[in-house]
Amino acid sequence: TILLLHPDTTIHLLVLMISFSTMILYKQYLLLITIYRIHLHFITTLMILGLSLHLTKLIFFLQNTKSST
């Protein structure tokens, strides 16, 4: 049916379809980037929390050994 129309309209439709698909792809890309950033932030936060917990445990352990002697 598209081929039966005027050539200009078919080109216009093709351009519209291409632009629409690229827009969707771009939005998906942005979403992926956002998710990745949040994920990265979450991982770094967890790592920092784990490290601080480890350090506090170590400090408490050292304090306990100091007080026992």
Quick one: which H or E segment has residue 59?
Answer: helix 7-68
- Report, as ranges of residue numbers, the positions in the chain whose pLDDT lies below 70: 1-7, 69
Q: For 14-32, what is each residue's pLDDT tens digit?
A: 899 999 999 999 999 999 9
Please give the model's pTM, rounded to 2 decimal places: 0.50
Residue 14: count of CB within 10 angstroms of its CB: 11
